[in-house]
Structures are given as structure tokens and as C-alpha cells.
Amino acid sequence: DTGVSQDPRHKITKRGQNVTFRCDPISEHNRLYWYRQTLGQGPEFLTYFQNEAQLEKSRLLSDRFSAERPKGSFSTLEIQRTEQGDSAMYLCASSLGLAGLNEQFFGPGTRLTVL
């Protein structure tokens, strides 16, 4: 399968613990996005990487969140000191090309539950 993959698919953690998610984009895609989706809402933008450079972080991304994309390949999203409000589906997407006119390809998501 050459689509976007995410790991793990589900994560249950206790409040205060740290969690890390991984996203493997389609190999030739230079653009990588993280979104968060809560129940009954559409995905909301979190952060964007162009190759290995993180160009923008949403205000939704507090200081407890950090993302990396070493060597412009896979990406990780870490949440430190998780809170119950962090419970959501975390989606990764990748695309290719200029000006964002091409469609984004989404992974299946990581569902986080913070107890």
C-alpha cells in the first residue's frame, strides 16, 4: 500500500503522560500536514511541513505539542503532559506540488483517548 500510514491507530493514555504519533507520507510528497478532528467537527489544521521545515503552527498547538519531520520523510507529533481535552483523532495528510492546488491524501488517523 503506497498511501499515507499512521501509527498507532489507537492510543489510550492517562492524563499527564506523554504520547508520540508517527506519520509516513506518500514517499514523493514534499508537503505534510497534521490536523485534529473532534467528534462532530471537521478536521482542524495543526501544523505544516514543507520537506523538513515546519513553516506554520496553528494556535491550537500549545507548547505541549511538538512536531518534527527529520530529513523530510516521516513525521512525528508528540504531546507532553496530556490533558483530557487532547482526546481527538489526529490526522496526517501529504500532497505534492505548488500552491496547494493538488489534493491532500489523508492517513487513517490516530485516535487518542486521555483518561
Partner 1 sequence: AQSVAQPEDQVNVAEGNPLTVKCTYSVSGNPYLFWYVQYPNRGLQFLLKYITGDNLVKGSYGFEAEFNKSQTSFHLKKPSALVSDSALYFCAVRAARPNSGYALNFGKGTSLLVTP
Which residues are near partner 1 by CB under 8 A? Answer: 4, 31, 33, 35, 40-45, 48-50, 55-56, 91, 93, 95, 99-101, 103-109
* Partners of residue 5 on adjacent β-strands: 24
CB of 78 to partner 1, least distance (A): 20
Beta-strand relationship, 44-50 and 53-57: antiparallel
Of residues 17 and 41, the one with the C-beta less far from partner 1: 41
Shortest Å, Cβ 99 to partner 1: 6
What φ, ψ does residue 72 adopt, rounded to 5°?
65, 25
Q: Toward partner 1, which CB reaches closer, 53 or 70? A: 53
**CA separation (Å) from 76 to 49, 87, 96?**
11, 17, 19
* CB-based contacts of 39, cutoff 8 Å, min separation 6: none
Smallest distance from partner 1 to CB 62, Å = 18
